[in-house]
Structure 1
Amino acid sequence: MDWLKRMNGALEYIEDNLAGEIDFNTAARIACCSVYHFQRMFSFMTDIPLSEYIRRRRLTLAAFELQQSEIKVIDLGLKYGYESPEAFTRAFQKMHGVTPTLSRQKGISLKSYPRLSFHITIRGAEEMNYKIIEKEAFTVFGVEELFTMENGENLKGIPQMWQRLLSDGTVDRIGQASDKVWNESNRGIMPVNAVMCYREADAGRFPYMICGFMPDSGLVDKEDYTVAQIPALTWAVFTTEEYTRDQTVSQIQNLWKRIYTEWFPMSSYEALSGPQFEMYGIAESGNSYCEVWIPVVHK
């Protein structure tokens, strides 16, 4: 499949440049997606961040070289991207349990992480709820922050952002400005949701906005918010099962993972680089659900 070939091509580029500089933009171009989407697909498919995979592979190769050559530790650290011998020694010892110097001794136990490759895996028959829709251009507004996927920053920072904006009343103000004030008797999609990757960012970061839909009358305090224009697109819309509050994170993350590891590899669509939404709703039962909106195009 083209999708798997592109992902494996990007992985081959990374493997070929472990002893040098790895340009995530180049890897993403080979995979025909943005850096953010490539990193996210990689972590969903492998259950580890891309940066952690690279770290493990480099330290695996470094251990091989230490046992098979007379290369100096300082030179080996520089070769695999560490700015100082101390930083390399700390990383090496954290993974292998011994210092680089001790690893040269016979009988020392070390860890080896093999090279990955992507394949289709047949899984149990578990349905996914989705629909394909066409939607005209629309506008959202809200509060934006930039995140990276390095060391799971986004997994920590985004929940903290939500908590902060809920606590200080910003989420309520966005809902009021969108003319869709929420109360517990309402059902369906809430007035305040989340959108990411609606514009390019620098240094491997991606924009994330807690947002509302622009009202027909426009915004009174437009300078208080970031505004994003969403073009007319074809969307694949996926829906979680209903869940309780304490299941929110696990249900939404599981849906994202299944989209990229099960639906896209087997469907006749591929994801476009562009805005992705999480729409949060309340079902008739009173439980929560989430819709994930991803722009797509026919393969």
Structure 2
Amino acid sequence: MISALNQLVDLVEEHLAEELDVHGLAGALGTTEYHLRRMFSSLAGMPLSEYVRRRRMTVAAAAVVRGEEDLLSIAVRHGYGSSEAFGRAFRAVHGVGPGDVRRDGGPLRTQPQLRFRLTVEGSIPMDTRLVDRPVFRLAGHAARVPLIHQGVNPHIQEHIAALPQEEHLRLKALGDTEPEGLLQVCDDLDPDGREGSELTYLHAVALARDTPVPDDLDVIEVPAGRWAVFRTSGPHPQALQKTWAATATEWFPAHPWRLRPGPSIVAVLERADDFSTATCELWLPVEPA
């Protein structure tokens, strides 16, 4: 995986002014675009699209400062159809327009070329099991919410709090298969994992394929497949979020598995009354790398 990410970085450099064929590269490297984008954003701390934008404007800024070409020529060479479009992109990265930089020499915000290296420190205990599951369904109450990487997501908190207590009890009684209990389900995630991008959150339980689902519940059909299940315990949600991050930095690079499209599921096994601490299971859909 680390080698694939470095080849992706090299491809970015070779085609800064062009549309990246991430799908084709992923296929040539024996992985998938979905997994490649998810691992890039997790390890780089930014979406691939943002890295490309920053690198493109870093290289363009050098040309602007040199002053050997007019701004329109630089814009076209870097994939922009007009000086105005180039100026907007340039300002979004550097905070000033290309004309200002040509006159004053800055300020500039440089994005160095990334290089990924595998350092497995084992700082996060990874209590993991692999589970093969037949087709099942997730049934519950859905909402579209923004992705927030750190801390409690207030939009999810508000969605859950709006459900009456008897509805939590009804859902829990409906569940009849693994993962057990009330579940926190995230689906339709942006493969780049961009902060603020929308996802579908489902407060749900898991049902066997043939279990009837009440008409008032939203449903996600989950195909048969393998899951990596990570058990976490400690301050909530910090312990869960640290383990989630460690799956990208430590577990996936060291194991012959990759993410496949599908929902991620958190099962809360035990928790304090105020939810300050919890023991959870994080279920991620995987396939052989």
The TM-score range, normalised by the shorter chain, is 0.7 to 0.9
Structure 1 match to 2:181: 190
CA distance in 2, matches of 1:79, 1:22: 16
Structure 1 match to 2:228: 236
Is contact 1:177-1:219 (8 Å) kept?
no
How many pairs does the alignment contain? 273
1:261 CA displacement: 1.0
Q: Aligned partner of 1:234: which letter?
A: R
CA distance in 2, matches of 1:276, 1:298: 17
| 1:61-210 → structure 2 map (5 Å cutoff) | 61-68=59-66, 70-82=68-80, 85-105=83-103, 108-123=106-121, 125-144=123-142, 153-155=146-148, 159=153, 161-169=155-163, 173=167, 176-177=170-171, 179-180=173-174, 190-196=181-187, 209-210=202-203
Structure 1 match to 2:254: 266
Is contact 1:180-1:191 (8 Å) kept?
no
Q: Aligned partner of 2:133: which letter?
A: K
1:51 CA displacement: 2.4
1:258 CA displacement: 0.7
Choose from 205, 209, 216 the match for 1:212.
205
Q: Aligned partner of 1:194: which letter?
A: V
Choose from 259, 280, 284 the match for 1:294.
284
- CA RMSD, 1 decimal: 3.7
Unaligned runs of 5+ in 1: 148-152, 182-187
Indicate how the Cα distance of structure 1 residues 75 and 190 shifts in structure 2: closer, same or farther if over 3 A, else same.
Answer: farther
Structure 2 match to 1:185: none
Unaligned runs of 5+ in 2: 192-196
CA distance in 2, matches of 1:155, 1:29: 30
Is contact 2:174-2:207 (8 Å) kept?
no
Structure 1 match to 2:242: 254
Is contact 1:42-1:50 (8 Å) kept?
yes
Structure 2 match to 1:226: 219
Equivalent residue of 1:59, what SS? helix
What is the CA deviation profile of residues 21-65 of structure 1, one whole-angstrom value per residue up to 9, with x for unaligned ones?
A: 234544554562243x33321121112222221121011011112
Q: Aligned partner of 2:187: which letter?
A: M
Q: Does 1:283 align with 2:252?
A: no
1:87 CA displacement: 4.6
What is the CA deviation profile of residues 214-253 of structure 1, one whole-angstrom value per residue up to 9, with x for unaligned ones?
A: 266411316x52331331x33221122222xxx41x3333
1:294 CA displacement: 2.2
TM-score under structure 1 normalisation?
A: 0.73
Of all paired residues, the percent bearing the same amino acid is 26
What is the CA deviation profile of residues 181-218 of structure 1, one whole-angstrom value per residue up to 9, with x for unaligned ones?
A: 8xxxxxx95323214359x9xxx987654432126641
Indicate how the Cα distance of structure 1 residues 39 and 160 shifts in structure 2: closer, same or farther if over 3 A, else same.
Answer: farther
CA distance in 2, matches of 1:236, 1:13: 30
| 1:16-55 → structure 2 map (5 Å cutoff) | 16-26=14-24, 28-30=26-28, 32-35=31-34, 37-55=35-53
Indicate how the Cα distance of structure 1 residues 213 and 50 shifts in structure 2: closer, same or farther if over 3 A, else same.
Answer: same
Q: Aligned partner of 1:264: which letter?
A: F
1:297 CA displacement: 4.1
* Bigger shift: residues 204-213 or 123-132: 204-213
TM-score under structure 2 normalisation?
A: 0.75
Equivalent residue of 2:257, what SS? strand
